[in-house]
Amino acid sequence: MTRKLTLVMVILNVMALGLLLKDHLFTRTVSASPTQLGAVSGVVVTAGDEISTTSLSYVDVPNMTATISSPGGNLAIMFSVEGVTQSGAEAEFRALVDDKSTEPGDVTIFASPLAAGNGFTFVANNIAPGPHTVKMQWHKPSSSGRALNMQDRTMVVLAGLQ
């Protein structure tokens, strides 16, 4: 199996585990065999409690912070969310590594009264070796409308990507 295909399989298995355990808040660290993926390691954080915000400036998404030890290289931050509500409203998300913004920067989703899933991948390039704190933030870009609500959410962080 190629390294990329193996990496994709690991990611899918980790995300499937998050879906199975979505009603329980947990943080898990997973590592791949060095013979399969080089020095790639990962952290998974998931939560299912209902949260809301009316903040017009960025605030941390509760329970979506993780620390990962990186051998250096690039980080990939995959974030999936279900249930951002209030029809017609917008929500903006961003991922921070050590309080610095990642690519592609702010991501906007349009809320719906129906439960809907959204997923994003953020990248931090050329990260120095050592521990790094990764967190998700969100806010309402407009003062119109009511609070934004969110329920199920998962963050997968992979370190050591080239």
The CATH number covering residue 149 comes to 2.60.120.760
Share of the chain above pLDDT 70, in %: 67
The model's confidence at residue 84, banded by pLDDT at 50, 70 and 90, is low
Residue located via tokens 């990507």: 161
The model's confidence at residue 50, banded by pLDDT at 50, 70 and 90, is confident
Q: Which structural domain, as residue segments, surrounds residue 128?
A: 3-161
The model's confidence at residue 162, banded by pLDDT at 50, 70 and 90, is confident
The model's confidence at residue 63, banded by pLDDT at 50, 70 and 90, is very high
Return the pLDDT at 88. Answer: 62
Q: What are φ and ψ of residue 8, in 5° steps?
A: -60, -40
**Within 10 Å of residue 105's Cβ, how many Cβ atoms?**
10
Number of domains the chain is built from = 1
The model's confidence at residue 121, banded by pLDDT at 50, 70 and 90, is very high
6: its two tokens? 């193996």
In three-state secondary structure terms, 55 is coil
The model's confidence at residue 2, banded by pLDDT at 50, 70 and 90, is very low
Q: Is the pLDDT of residue 67 over 90?
A: yes
Q: What are φ and ψ of residue 17, in 5° steps?
A: -60, -40
From residue 59, alpha-carbon distances to 54, 93, 112 in Å are 10, 10, 21
Question: Number of helices and strands (H, E) in the chain?
Answer: 2, 12
Q: Are strands 73-82 and 117-127 parallel, antiparallel or unpaired?
A: antiparallel
Return the pLDDT at 54. Answer: 87
46: its two tokens? 């998931």
Instruction: For the full predicted model, state whether its pTM sits above 0.85.
Output: no
